[in-house]
Structure 1
Amino acid sequence: MAELRPSLNDQKDKIWDIPTVTKVKAFLWRASSEALPVVDLLKIRGMKGDSRCQICGEEGESINHVLFTCTVARQIWALSRFPSPMGGFDAFSVYSNLSYLFNMGKSRILPQQIKRLFPWILWRIWKNRNFFPFEARAFHPLETQQKIEDDAKKLSMAQIVDNERE
């Protein structure tokens, strides 16, 4: 019997409305489509290799693990000014975690400079994950947090310049 899962179409549609660059939107779409090359998905497709997380060494590397529950990801989320869910991120559902982020991104309570961070947090966590095995280097969570702030600030400044030209 097939596992019952919610439709992801509404969530995927929301991605294209996020005020960020196209490469980050495409990355978010791939994350929500379970189309990122993580160990768990590569194994399903028949590839052999180490089944542990490329960053923390924990057994199993899912998209949800890399972006939300890996020890490094949790450190980066804790350092960010973006509010985490009560009780922390869901340990198993990337869908639930992305839904939470999208909802918080629409919050009227959070300042705009905080709301714009979550796509960049996810992007930098993913970039760090790829730097480690391919370039044999990792970024410290504090350094990553600074890059996230810089990315978000650059995009905001570019949007201001674009608005002034119109």
Structure 2
Amino acid sequence: MEILEPNITKFQTFTWKVKASDKIYHLMWQMITGHVAVTRNLKQRNMRCDNYYPRCGEPEKTVAYSIFECLPALQVWSLSATPSSPNIFPLQSIYADIDYLLWRKNSIVEPKLDRDPYPLLIWYVWKPRNDKLFREIDMDPLELVRYAKSEYQAWFNANEIMFPAPQEHCGRWKDSAHGNAKSKETRYCFTFANISTAMGNEEYASTFVMSALWD
């Protein structure tokens, strides 16, 4: 019997549309392609390491197990705002879980109103795994959920800042009161909040009248 793997191109494409920072894009991309450095993957590359999940001590079977299935991860997801229930999410398949987060969850939460910090939850499930493995630091699941929510809200606030529209002030050049230099009347224009500044191109420009800026 031939077993066909799912086409992951759509997953990979949509990953870049997730509202999150570059580090989240990179982690989710690695999850989809199966390149996350869980101990099982490392052993398959002939690297010498113990095959266990540092936060629960169980064998680190798959990427899905590390992010969604082990007890500490399940506690994070159950405490979060991400809708979850048995046989729907999470499941024992990285593709089913990512599919749920990217698309199927939209039938429960309106996409335009969705502020579910699941991208940061993924990050804060994976990062403590490494902290436990390399630094012997263990973090409380509720604390991780709060970190994820706070950082995600900060990301939204930073990306929703509205910059003021460019304002244009126009005036004119005035003949110089010094010397015999002459200049033709010409228009000048400054555009603020923009790198472009247009000015008159007369060969002999004389004294610039600042008050004209406000005329």
Tell me the residue number matched to 2:96: 96
The 2-side partners of 1:19 and 1:146 are apart by: 18
Which residue of structure 2 lines up, in the alignment, with residue 131 of structure 1?
131
Say which structure is richer in helix: 1
Shift of 1:59: 2.0
Distance 2:115 2:146 in 1: 14
- Per the TM alignment, residue 112 of structure 1 is displaced from its structure 2 partner at its CA by 2.2
* Structure with greater proportional strand content: 2
Amino acid at match of 1:165: F
Query: Partner amino acid for 2:90?
Result: F
Distance 1:107 1:20, change over 3 A: farther
Amino acid at match of 1:71: L
Query: Hey, what does 1:41 align to over in structure 2?
Result: 41
User: How many equivalent pairs are there?
Assistant: 161
- The TM-score with structure 1 as length reference comes to 0.89
- 1:2 to partner: Cα distance: 6.6
Report the equivalent of 1:10.
Answer: 10
Contact 1:85 1:100 in 2 (8 A): no
Q: Which amino acid aligns with 2:129?
A: R
CA RMSD, Structure 1 to Structure 2 (Å): 1.8
Q: Distance in 2 between matches of 1:13 and 1:103?
A: 13
The one of the two structures with greater contact order (alpha-carbon pairs below 8 A, sep at least 6) is 1
Structure 1 segment 1-166 matched on structure 2, within 5 A: 3-87=3-87, 88-91=89-92, 93-104=93-104, 106-107=106-107, 109-110=109-110, 111-114=113-116, 117-161=117-161, 164-165=162-163
Query: Residue 28 of structure 2: SS of its match in structure 1?
Result: helix
Identical positions, percent: 25
Q: 1:8 to 1:34 in 2, by over 3 A?
A: same
Distance 1:101 1:83 in 2: 9
* Alpha-carbon separation, structure 2, partners of 1:41 and 1:51: 9
Give the greater-gyration-radius structure (CA). 2
Q: What displacement does 1:67 show?
A: 0.5
Does 71-80 or 19-28 show the bigger shift? 19-28
For residue 127 of structure 1, report the CA deviation from its aligned partner.
0.6
Q: Unmatched 5+ residue regions in structure 2?
A: 165-215
**Residue 3 of structure 1, CA deviation:** 3.7
Residue 61 of structure 1: CA displacement? Answer: 3.7
TM-score scaled to structure 2, two decimals?
A: 0.70
